[in-house]
Chain A
Amino acid sequence: MRYILSIALVVLALPVLLFGLAGVQGRISRVPPIEVFPDMDRQAKLRPQEPNHFFANGTSSQLSPAGTVARSEALQTTAGAVYRFEDAPVNSGMITGTTNFVALNPLPVDEHLLLRGRERFDIYCAPCHGRIGDGNGITKKLGVMPAVANLHDQRIVAMADGELFYTITHGKGLMGAYGPLMPVEDRWAVVAYLRALQLSWLGSSDDLPVDQQAAFKK
C-alpha cells in the first residue's frame, strides 16, 4: 500500500512540477524564442532594417545617396508621362523653371484618384486636421498639439494646388514633411481630395446635378 501511494504521488507530482516550472502556455516572456537549429532559421543574408557590419553605418538598409532620385516609372500626368527626376510641376508643385506654384493638379482627377486621396487623407492628415479637414483631429481632442490649421480657412482654400502639394511634401511651421511618407501620386491624390472636401463646405446645393438637388433638399 505504501508503495502504491508513493508511486501515485510521483505520478501526480510530475505534471504539476512540469506545469509549475514552465507555467501557462504562451505566457509573457522577455527572453527571445528558443531556436534549436538557428543556422537554418537565421541565414547570413541581408534583411531590411537590421544591424549589419558590412556598411559603415552598421545597418542593412541604406539611404539613397544625397541628391539622387530613383528613376522608377513615369507618372501619367495630363501633360504626358513624366519621370520622377524631371523638373516638372508633378514632382515639385512648381511650374518648370520657376518658383511659382502650379495652379492645377497635374494628375488626371478621376474617381480613382479621389478615393485614393480620401484613404490617404484619413491615414496621414486626419489625426491632426480631422477627417473633414476642420482642424479638429484626435490630437486637438487630446489637447496635445498647440495649433492645427483648419483646411477650410480662406487662406488655404485660396492656395494653388501646387502650394498644397509643396506644403504636404516639405511641411510648414509645426507640421512635419509628409513627402517621405507619401509618394508623389498619393500627395496629389490628397490635394484632389482636399479640394473636394473644401467644395463640400463652400458649395451650395445648387452645385448638385438637378436630379440630385431635390433629394438633397428633402
Chain B
Amino acid sequence: MSAIFPKWTNSLPLALGAVVAVVGGVVTAGVALYATPKHTRVGYEPVQPVPFSHKIHAGQMGLDCRYCHNGVEKSWFANLPGASTCMNCHNQVMKDDPLLAVVRDSAATGKPIPWVQVHKVPDYVYFNHSVHVTRGVSCVECHGRVDQMEEVYHAKSFSMSFCLDCHRDPAEHIRPTAQVTHLDWQWSTNEAVAAEMQATNGTKFVHDWKVESLQSCSACHR
C-alpha cells in the first residue's frame, strides 16, 4: 500500500503546534500590552486650546487644586474653572499675551474655552469626586503627579480593576483629609516608617470616617 501522506507530514502537527504557540503568544502579549486601558488610555495628552501648565500653577506656585477646581468637594465632578477665575491673576499677569487671548475672550463674552477632557470614565460608570476627596483619597491616587505635568496626560489606567484595587483595600490609599490636595505628601521620608504609619492610620481612617468602599455592582453602575 502506497503512502497516502508523504513522510514529512509526520512532523506537521509539531510544526503547526509551534506556529500556533508563537503566534498565539505574540497576539496574547500584544493584547495584554496594547489593547488594555494601560495603553489605550494611559499617556493620552490632548493638545489644549491654551497651553496651561499645571507644573507652574500647582507645582511651582503651589496653588491648591481647589483654587480652580472649586466644586470638587461638593460635586460629583471636578469642575473646570470659569475664565473669570483665570482672570483673577491674568488681568495683570501676562495680560497681553497672545496665548491667553482665548481666556480673555471667554471672560469677556462668556463663550466657553474648548478644553479637551483628558480623564473620561465611560457613561455607564458613576464616579463621585466629592465622596473621595472628603474621605482622604488624594487627587494623586487617580490623576498622578499633575503638579509635575507641563501638559496634563492620562497617568493611570482607569480600568475597572484599577478602581477595585483601591475599593478592596482602601486603608492603603487613604490619607489625612488636609493632605488630599498635597500631591507630594507622604507620612515620612523613611519608606518603612511611612508604610507602618499608612497601615495603622489607614485602618483607623477607614473605621473613623465610615469608609464603605463599596464593591457591589450598583455602586458604580447605577
Give A contacts to B, CB under 8 Å. 11, 14-15, 18, 22, 25-35, 40-43, 45, 47-51, 57, 59, 63, 119, 122-124, 127, 138-139, 142, 144-146, 174-178, 180-182
Contacts and interface: CB of A to CB of B under 8 A. Distances in A.
B4 to A, nearest CB: 24
A30 B89 contact: no
Contacts of B64: 122-123
A47 B126 CA distance: 12
8 A-B pairs with the lowest CB-CB distances in the bound complex, closest first: A176-B88, A26-B42, A41-B122, A43-B123, A123-B64, A26-B43, A144-B93, A33-B40
B22 A11 contact: yes
A174 B91 contact: yes
Given A49-B79, A146-B92, A25 B61 contact: no
B151 to A, nearest CB: 9
Contact of A25 (B38, B79, B110): B38
Contacts of A14: 22-23, 26
A33 B44 contact: yes
B140 interface: no
B61 A127 contact: yes
B34 interface: yes
A25 B34 contact: yes
A206 B114 CA distance: 57
Contacts of A127: 61-63, 67, 89
Nearest to A12: B22
A59 B112 contact: yes
Interface in B1-59: 22-23, 26, 29-30, 33-34, 37-47
Interface residues of B, number: 48
Contacts of A177: 84
Contact of B39 (A25, A50, A59): A25
B122 A28 contact: no
Contacts of B23: 14
B47 A30 contact: yes
A14 to B, nearest CB: 5
B166 interface: no
Interface in B74-95: 77, 79-80, 82, 84-85, 87-89, 91-93
B87 A176 contact: yes
A123 to B, nearest CB: 4
Contacts of A27: 43
B61 A142 contact: yes
Contacts of A51: 114
Contact of B41 (A33, A43, A50): A33
B85 to A, nearest CB: 6
Interface in B161-213: 178
A117 B137 CA distance: 22
B70 interface: yes
A166 B14 CA distance: 84
Nearest to B87: A176
B92 A29 contact: no
B124 A41 contact: yes
B112 A49 contact: yes
Nearest to B156: A26
A34 B34 contact: no
Contacts of A176: 84-85, 87-88, 91
Contacts of B85: 176, 180-181
Nearest to A58: B112
A180 B39 contact: no
A49 B80 contact: yes
A39 to B, nearest CB: 10
Nearest to B62: A138
Contacts of A28: 43, 45, 153
